Amino acid sequence: MKEYKLQGLSCANCAAEMESEIKKLDHGGDAQLKFNSSKLLVHEQVNLSKVRQILKSDGASLVETKEHGENGHNHSHGSNMKMLVFLSSVIFGLTFLLQSHVSGYVLIMMYVAAMALSGYQTFIKGAKNLVKLKFNIDTLMTIALIGAVAIGEWREATIVAILFGLNEYLEGLGMEKARNSMEQLLKVAPKQATLILENGSERVVPIESLQENDVVLVKAGEKIPSDGIVIEGFSSVNESAITGESLPVEKASGENLYGGSINNEGLLKVKITRAYEDSSLAKILHLVEEAQEMKTPTELFINRFAKYYTPAIMLISLLVMVLPPLLFNMEWGSALYQGLAVLIVGCPCALILSSPIAIVSGITKNARNGILVKGGVFLEQLGKVESIAFDKTGTLTKGEPTVQTARVYNAELFYSIAGSIEKNSSHPIAKAVMAEVNTKNSALKEPSKVEALPGKGIYAEIDHTPYYMGSEQTIPHLNLSNEQKKDIESLKEAGYTLVIVSSEEEILGIFGIADEIRDESKSLIKDLHLAGIKHTIMLTGDHEKTAEKVAGEIGLTDVYAGLLPEQKVEQVKRLSKGTRLAMVGDGINDAPALATADLGIAMGKGTDSAIETADIVLMQDHLGKLPSSIRIAKQVNRVVKLNITLALGLKLAALLLTIPGWLTLWVAILSDMGATILVTLISLTVLMNKTNKTSFVKEEEKGVQPQS
DSSP 577-620: HHS-EEEEE-SSTTHHHHHHSSEEEEE-TT-HHHHHH-SEEE-S
What residue spans of 247-348 are helical by DSSP H?
Answer: 280-293, 297-328, 332-345
Q: Is the pLDDT score of 187 beyond 70? A: no
What pLDDT does 78 receive? 52
Q: What is the mean pLDDT of residues 438-448?
A: 91
Q: Is the pLDDT score of 289 beyond 70? A: no
Q: What is the mean pLDDT of residues 116-129?
A: 80
8 A C-beta contact, residue 502 and residue 453: no
pLDDT: which is higher, 421 or 569: 421
- 10 Å Cβ neighbour count for 248? 17
User: pLDDT tens digit string along 50-88?
Assistant: 999 888 877 788 886 544 444 444 444 455 777 888 899
User: pLDDT tens digit string along 643-663?
Assistant: 999 988 888 888 888 778 788
- 10 Å Cβ neighbour count for 109? 13
What pLDDT does 704 receive? 34
Domains of the chain in sequence order: 2-74 (3.30.70.100), 78-182+293-356+641-686 (no CATH), 192-222+227-273 (2.70.150.10), 398-516 (3.40.1110.10)
What pLDDT does 279 receive? 81
What are the φ and ψ backbone dihedral angles of 71, each rounded to 5 degrees? -90, 125
Q: What is the mean pLDDT of residues 326-344?
A: 84
8 A C-beta contact, residue 541 and residue 567: no
Q: What is the mean pLDDT of residues 100-127?
A: 86
Q: Is the pLDDT score of 609 beyond 60? A: no
Report the alpha-carbon distance of residue 249 to residue 595 in Å, rounded.
Answer: 32
Distance, CA of 203 to chain centre: 37
Note the residue count of the chain: 708
What are the φ and ψ backbone dihedral angles of 604, each rounded to 5 degrees? -115, -15
Task: Identify the helix (H) or strand (E) that includes residue 403.
Answer: strand 397-408
What pLDDT does 425 receive? 85
Which positions are catalytic? 391
Beta-strand (E) ranges in 171-302? 192-196, 202-206, 215-218, 228-232, 235-238, 249-251, 256-257, 262-263, 268-272
3-state secondary structure of 95: helix
What pLDDT does 699 receive? 38
Instruction: Tell me the torsion sign for CA atoms 170, 171, 176, 179.
Output: positive
Q: Is the pLDDT score of 549 beyond 50? A: yes
Give CA torsion, residues 564, 569, 575, 577, to 10 deg.
-150
For the chain, the average pLDDT equals 82
What are the φ and ψ backbone dihedral angles of 651, each rounded to 5 degrees? -70, -40
List residues bridging with 698 in a β-sheet. none
Q: What is the mean pLDDT of residues 280-300?
A: 69
